[in-house]
Amino acid sequence: MLVHDAHCHYQFAEVPAAAVDLARREGVGYAVVNGSAPVDWPDVAALAARDARNLPAFGLHPWDVPTAPVGWEALLRETLVAHPQASVGEMGLDRWVEGHDPVAQETAFRAQLALAVELERPLTIHCVRAIGPLMDILRATPVPRRGFLLHSWNGPVELVPELAGLGAYFSFSAHHLRPTKADLRAQFAAAIPADRVLVETDAPALCPAPEHRRYELPPDAAGVAQNHPANLLVNLEELARTRGLSPETAAELTCANFARLFLGQ
Ligand SMILES: [Zn+2]
């Protein structure tokens, strides 16, 4: 069984190369490796050069907006042009993170959105407590022809049809395994169109609770549990159960959706 990871961060030091190798032996195929700031873009590019299944994404994460170096937009353009297979991400809006500047975040968002449209690349959006401002932008601004991913989707069901019409894909993550997230699982069961469902780990982030953890990584220096890339299989199985599909059918469905969005096939 082959499964593609729609969103991860293999470039982070918490993900050893051996963990990625294990994930690949377990059936993980393509993985969209999302950069978060200019400082980690070379590491993302190196992973893509090492294995073509590591699909690079370059972007400025909303948490990294305050420390972005002057000229990051020009560097992003240059990096995307040098990597024709790359998408744009991780970018987004986050009104939960401490000390956020909504104006600076929105400026960075609009710059990356415009670049993705101009260069015809898909993009990956992180949205936390900012669905209103996100909708305001998406309703009034051109979006990439191939579409965009709302990673670890956590918005209201009412917006799903409109977002799907705009070109959105929605990824299922360990966030949706939590007992308190039955409402989001219900969206993945029925509201989200079959041709827009993806599955992701966000590894090493979004570590599932111990009962959903099939593979372990050591905790980081602060003691925070880290998500192993091979836990993608657990998320896939839960997504399959949620939609009433066999794991094999869910894997085929998400692979076809992945290929359309990230490979342009
Ligand atoms: Zn992420």
The 148-150 sheet, strands edge to edge: 3-8, 28-34, 54-58, 87-94, 123-128, 148-150, 168-172, 197-199
What residues pair up with 31 in beta bridges, in sequence order? 5, 54
- In this prediction, residue 265 carries a pLDDT of 94
Q: Distance (Å, rounded) from C-alpha 113 to C-alpha 80?
A: 13
Counting beta carbons within 10 angstroms of the beta carbon of residue 75, is it exposed (0 to 12), middle (13 to 18) or buried (19 or more)? middle
200 C-alpha to ligand 1 centroid (Å): 9
What residues pair up with 124 in beta bridges, in sequence order? 149
Residue 181 DSSP SS3: helix
Residues 44, 17: contact at Cβ < 8 Å? Answer: no
34 C-alpha to ligand 1 centroid (Å): 7
118 C-alpha to ligand 1 centroid (Å): 23
Domain assignment of residue 67, given as a range: 3-262
DSSP state of 200: -
150 C-alpha to ligand 1 centroid (Å): 11
Indicate whether this model's pTM tops 0.75: yes
DSSP state of 174: G
192 C-alpha to ligand 1 centroid (Å): 21
Residue with tokens 């360990």: 174
Helices marked H in the chain: 17-25, 41-50, 72-82, 102-119, 131-140, 160-166, 182-186, 232-243, 247-262
Q: Distance (Å, rounded) from C-alpha 118 to C-alpha 115?
A: 5
Q: What is the CATH number of the domain that holds 74?
A: 3.20.20.140
For the chain, how many structural domains are there in total? 1
- In this prediction, residue 99 carries a pLDDT of 86
119 C-alpha to ligand 1 centroid (Å): 22
165 C-alpha to ligand 1 centroid (Å): 24
7 C-alpha to ligand 1 centroid (Å): 6
Low-confidence residues in the chain, pLDDT < 50 = none
